[in-house]
């Protein structure tokens, strides 16, 4: 772990020290510089003055060539201990008289070059200060004073200053250290505590912790506050997340469907309770691709293939297949799966459901059977109706035959005829509604004629004209029984809708449908000039149990017909007009010559 404590304290301390140190050094340097400058100026000034005085006093010795006198004047320089050499030179630069400090070797120095050019010159060179002063008497240069002093004084001063500086620095560093310690408590402690808390939270993933409040209301205090608020926020979010998770799980377990989630790779990693309830399996068994064990082995390859396709393309998965229950029985399920995508559109998960449609299928089956039953009932009724009349005739004829034996033969002949009629009727209609086991080649126009004959009486009763238009080559591969049912239902509906003396046109012709690619087949259209079907009813007309007839009929006719048309992979459509004076309805069935492969 990082030793935070040391680093921050050290930084602060160093910072403090550096600040103090730098300030001190800068101040000291400033003072030194100032002092140095002042010292030099003073030196220059004092030396200048001395030179001047010496110069004044050396005029006559120079003029009257009295070096001794000049010497005397120069000797006064001994009072300035920093002056190592003071001398007078004649106007042409020749040494005239000189003074040496006691410790100096007694030899004269050459005049510096600039001495001859200017009235006064000063130079700091080689640790010494040189000053020259030209002596003028009444406008004429009579000599030059040349003084050299050492800078030992200056050096002494600098040394002293240096010592003072070091002392002050040390003192201030110590003071800075002390101050550091104190300020640290106020500044770095909250930060250190915050850092510690953060580390702890991160390590233990415990979002209940909080950093201790900082007393101040500065940025650090704000930081601590924000940090704590953030932790609170995280806790809230956590609990919200948990709640949502809980909600989701509850939802997932409450729906009647089985539900599951899969990785983009296709591995299932979660199932809801229902799955395990139904299949009687454990999560371990079902993980990944373990669900294959509850599939019907015959259907499994198809299921796998389709699932793999969906995984690869990202297309929603939809399929109906059986799944094995815990007791070993199979039920049919409609399985749907959708991909869940992230912000970039990448699939992160698949979410799927299995809905038990066994009951639904059974119900549909039952419905169909009911309708069939009802249809059979109607059929029986229609047979009964149909044969009542011939039976009546035969009853009468038998009676008369007994009463009028001389006409027996005639009566028997007539009776025979009527009995034939009965036989034909029963034969036709009973064979009518049988379910076909397999498809066969069926001539559509023949079937239409058969069905039309069955409804002859009804047509006659309403005085409806039948106008058949049957084309040629209308043989299709179909289920004969079912085909008859389709036409029977549609004709019956048409007759119902027709007014007295109406007209029913039945058109059958070869054609091509373009729904799923070009498909050749037969289209049969039943056109009646009844009152038409309003759009809102047209929408619902294929719904099971939907009927506009008040107490007659089950409402299943068209639904069943639609089912049967679908069995043939055909198409059923209704068009209608309710414009006044021009009402009509056209029901159209398209049946392919050969249903496409299952």
Partner 1 sequence: MLLAAADAQISKPEEFQVKAAYLYNFGKFISWPGSKSGTSFPICVLGRDPFGSALDTTIAGDSIDDKKLVVKRISSTHEADDCRILFVSSSEATALKEILLSVQKLPVATVSDIPGFVNQGGMIEFVLRENRVKFKVNLAAARQSGLALSSQLLKVAVEVRDTQGKQE
Partner 2 sequence: MQPTPATHPMNDWQAVSVPQLPFLGSPKWQPHFSSKEDGRPDREEMKDRRKIIVIDDEILIAETVVEILKEEGFHAIAISSADDAIEMARTAPPDLVLSDVVMPGMTGVEIGIRIREIAPQCKVILFSGQAATMDLVEKARRQGHKFEILAKPIRPEALIGVVRRQFSQA
* Chain positions contacting partner 1, by CB under 8 A: 57, 59-61, 63-67, 69, 94-95, 108, 137-138
Question: Which residue lies nearer to partner 1 by CB, 32 or 136?
Answer: 136
Q: How many CB atoms lie within 10 A of CB 526?
A: 23
DSSP secondary structure, 369-382, as one string? HHHHHHHHHHHHHH
- Least Å distance, CB 115 to partner 1, is 16
Question: Which residue lies nearer to partner 2 by CB, 155 or 417?
Answer: 417
- Least Å distance, CB 580 to partner 2, is 27
Given partner 1, partner 2, none, residue 371, with its beta carbon under 5 to 8 Å by kind, binds none
- Least Å distance, CB 398 to partner 2, is 9
Given partner 1, partner 2, none, residue 63, with its beta carbon under 5 to 8 Å by kind, binds partner 1
- Least Å distance, CB 67 to partner 1, is 6
Question: Which residue lies nearer to partner 2 by CB, 223 or 400?
Answer: 400
Q: Rounded to a whole number, what is the largest CA-CA distance in the chain? A: 212
Q: How many CB atoms lie within 10 A of CB 205?
A: 7
- Least Å distance, CB 136 to partner 1, is 12
Given partner 1, partner 2, none, residue 66, with its beta carbon under 5 to 8 Å by kind, binds partner 1
CA angle, corner 152, sides to 148 and 155, nearest 5?
A: 135
Name the 3-class secondary structure at 111: coil
Given partner 2, partner 1, none, residue 391, with its beta carbon under 5 to 8 Å by kind, binds partner 2
Interhelix angle 480-497/444-454, rounded to 10 degrees, is: 50
Interhelix angle 4-63/152-204, rounded to 10 degrees, is: 170
Given partner 2, partner 1, none, residue 137, with its beta carbon under 5 to 8 Å by kind, binds partner 1
Asked whether the CA dihedral 483, 485, 490, 495 is positive or negative, the reply is positive
Q: 491: Cβ–Cβ under 8 A, 6 or more apart, which residues? A: 451, 452, 455, 504, 506, 526
Question: Which residue lies nearer to partner 1 by CB, 58 or 188?
Answer: 58
Token digits of residue 486: 């389709």
Residue 489: CA count within 13 A, CB half-sphere:
29
- Least Å distance, CB 94 to partner 1, is 6
Q: 390: Cβ–Cβ under 8 A, 6 or more apart, which residues? A: 418, 419, 421, 422, 425
Question: Which residue lies nearer to partner 2 by CB, 86 or 390?
Answer: 390
Q: What are phi and psi of 126, to 5 degrees?
A: 55, 40
- Least Å distance, CB 586 to partner 2, is 26
Give the 3-state DSSP-derived string for 544-582, with helices as H, strands as E and coil as C: CCCCCCCCCCCCCHHHHHHHHHHHCCCEEEEEEECCCCC
Q: How far apart are CA 591 and CA 482, in angstroms?
A: 12
Question: Which residue lies nearer to partner 1 by CB, 65 or 226?
Answer: 65
Question: Which residue lies nearer to partner 2 by CB, 237 or 417?
Answer: 417
Q: How many CB atoms lie within 10 A of CB 561?
A: 23
- Least Å distance, CB 394 to partner 2, is 8
- Least Å distance, CB 61 to partner 1, is 5
Q: How far apart are CA 243 and CA 249, in angstroms?
A: 10
Given partner 2, partner 1, none, residue 396, with its beta carbon under 5 to 8 Å by kind, binds partner 2
Question: Which residue lies nearer to partner 2 by CB, 393 or 586?
Answer: 393
Token digits of residue 127: 């640790």
Q: 45: Cβ–Cβ under 8 A, 6 or more apart, which residues? A: none
Question: Which residue lies nearer to partner 2 by CB, 388 or 472?
Answer: 388
Given partner 2, partner 1, none, residue 64, with its beta carbon under 5 to 8 Å by kind, binds partner 1
Residue 454: CA count within 13 A, CB half-sphere:
29
Q: How far apart are CA 495 and CA 252, in angstroms?
A: 52
Cα 98 to Cα 12, 68, 90, 233: the distances in Å are 62, 10, 12, 93
Residues within the interface to partner 2 (CB under 8 A): 381, 384-385, 388-389, 391-397, 399-400, 403-404, 407, 410-411, 413-414, 417-418, 460-463
Question: Which residue lies nearer to partner 1 by CB, 138 or 202?
Answer: 138
Cα 235 to Cα 205, 382, 490: the distances in Å are 11, 77, 68
- Least Å distance, CB 88 to partner 1, is 12
Question: Which residue lies nearer to partner 2 by CB, 386 or 482?
Answer: 386
Q: 49: Cβ–Cβ under 8 A, 6 or more apart, which residues? A: none
Q: How far apart are CA 293 and CA 550, in angstroms?
A: 52
Given partner 2, partner 1, none, residue 168, with its beta carbon under 5 to 8 Å by kind, binds none
Quick one: 575 exposed, middle or buried, by C-beta within 10 A (0-12, 13-18, 19+)?
A: middle
- Least Å distance, CB 163 to partner 1, is 45
- Least Å distance, CB 397 to partner 2, is 6
Question: Which residue lies nearer to partner 1 by CB, 115 or 478?
Answer: 115
- Least Å distance, CB 501 to partner 2, is 10
Question: Which residue lies nearer to partner 1 by CB, 60 or 225?
Answer: 60
Given partner 2, partner 1, none, residue 400, with its beta carbon under 5 to 8 Å by kind, binds partner 2
Token digits of residue 427: 């034969």
Q: How many CB atoms lie within 10 A of CB 132?
A: 26
Question: Which residue lies nearer to partner 2 by CB, 536 or 551?
Answer: 551
Whether 447 contacts 483, CB under 8 Å = yes
- Least Å distance, CB 42 to partner 1, is 29
Given partner 1, partner 2, none, residue 417, with its beta carbon under 5 to 8 Å by kind, binds partner 2
Given partner 2, partner 1, none, residue 410, with its beta carbon under 5 to 8 Å by kind, binds partner 2
Given partner 2, partner 1, none, residue 138, with its beta carbon under 5 to 8 Å by kind, binds partner 1
Given partner 2, partner 1, none, residue 181, with its beta carbon under 5 to 8 Å by kind, binds none
Nearest to 516 by CA among 560, 477, 570: 570
Given partner 2, partner 1, none, residue 592, with its beta carbon under 5 to 8 Å by kind, binds none
């Amino acid at each position: 772990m990082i030793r935070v404590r040391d680093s921050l304290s050290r930084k602060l301390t160093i910072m403090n020290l550096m600040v103090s140190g730098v300030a001190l050094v800068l101040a000291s340097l400033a003072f030194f510089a100032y002092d140095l400058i002042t010292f030099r100026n003073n030196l220059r000034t004092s030396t200048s003055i001395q030179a001047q005085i010496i110069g004044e006093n050396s005029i006559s010795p120079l003029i009257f060539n009295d070096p001794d006198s000049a010497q005397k004047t120069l000797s006064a320089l001994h009072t300035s201990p920093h002056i190592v050499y003071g001398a007078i030179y004649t106007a042409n630069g020749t040494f005239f008289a000189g003074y040496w400090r006691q410790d100096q070797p007694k030899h004269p120095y050459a005049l510096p070059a600039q001495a001859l050019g200017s009235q006064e010159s000063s130079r700091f060179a080689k640790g010494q200060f040189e000053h020259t002063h030209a002596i003028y008497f009444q406008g004429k240069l009579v000599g030059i004073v040349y003084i050299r002093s050492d800078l030992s004084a200056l050096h002494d001063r600098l040394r002293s200053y240096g010592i003072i500086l070091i002392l002050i620095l040390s003192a201030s560093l110590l003071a800075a250290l002390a101050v550091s310690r104190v300020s640290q408590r106020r500044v770095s402690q909250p930060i250190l505590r915050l850092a510690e808390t953060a580390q702890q939270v991160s390590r233990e993933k415990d979002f209940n912790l909080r950093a201790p409040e900082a007393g101040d209301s500065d940025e650090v205090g704000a930081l601590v506050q924000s940090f704590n608020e953030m932790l609170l926020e995280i806790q809230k979010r956590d609990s919200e997340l948990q709640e949502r998770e809980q909600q989701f799980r509850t939802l997932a377990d409450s729906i009647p469907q089985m539900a599951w989630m899969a990785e983009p790779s296709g591995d299932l990693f979660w199932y809801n309770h229902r799955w395990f309830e139904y299949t009687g399996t454990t999560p371990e068994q079902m993980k990944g691709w373990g669900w294959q064990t509850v599939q019907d082995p015959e259907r499994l390859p198809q299921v796998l293939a389709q699932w793999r396709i969906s995984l690869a393309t990202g297309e929603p998965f939809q399929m109906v297949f059986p799944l094995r229950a815990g007791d070993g029985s199979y039920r049919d399920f409609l399985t749907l799966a959708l991909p869940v995508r992230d912000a970039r559109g990448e699939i992160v998960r698949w979410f799927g459901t299995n809905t038990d449609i066994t009951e639904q299928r059974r119900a549909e089956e039952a419905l169909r059977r009911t309708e069939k039953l009802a249809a059979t009932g109607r059929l029986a009724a229609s047979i009964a109706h149909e044969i009542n009349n011939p039976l009546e005739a035969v009853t009468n004829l038998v009676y008369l035959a007994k009463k009028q034996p001389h006409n027996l033969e005639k009566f028997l002949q007539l009776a025979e005829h009527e009995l034939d009629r009965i036989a034909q009727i029963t034969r036709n209609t009973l064979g009518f509604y049988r379910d076909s086991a397999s498809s066969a080649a069926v001539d559509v126009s023949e079937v239409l004629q058969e069905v039309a004959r069955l409804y002859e009486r009804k047509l006659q009763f309403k005085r409806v004209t039948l106008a058949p238009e049957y084309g040629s080559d209308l043989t299709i591969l179909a289920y004969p029984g079912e085909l008859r049912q389709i036409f029977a239902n549609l004709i019956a509906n048409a007759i119902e809708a027709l007014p007295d003396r109406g007209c029913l046109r039945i058109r059958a012709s070869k054609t091509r449908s373009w729904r799923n690619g070009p498909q050749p087949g037969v289209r049969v259209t039943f056109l009646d000039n009844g009152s038409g079907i309003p759009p809102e009813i047209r929408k619902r007309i294929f719904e099971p149990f939907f009927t506009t007839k008040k107490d007659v009929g089950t409402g299943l006719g068209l639904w069943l017909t639609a089912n049967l048309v679908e069995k043939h992979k055909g198409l059923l459509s209704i068009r209608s007009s309710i414009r006044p004076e021009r009402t009509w309805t056209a029901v159209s069935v398209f049946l392919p010559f050969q249903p496409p492969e299952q």
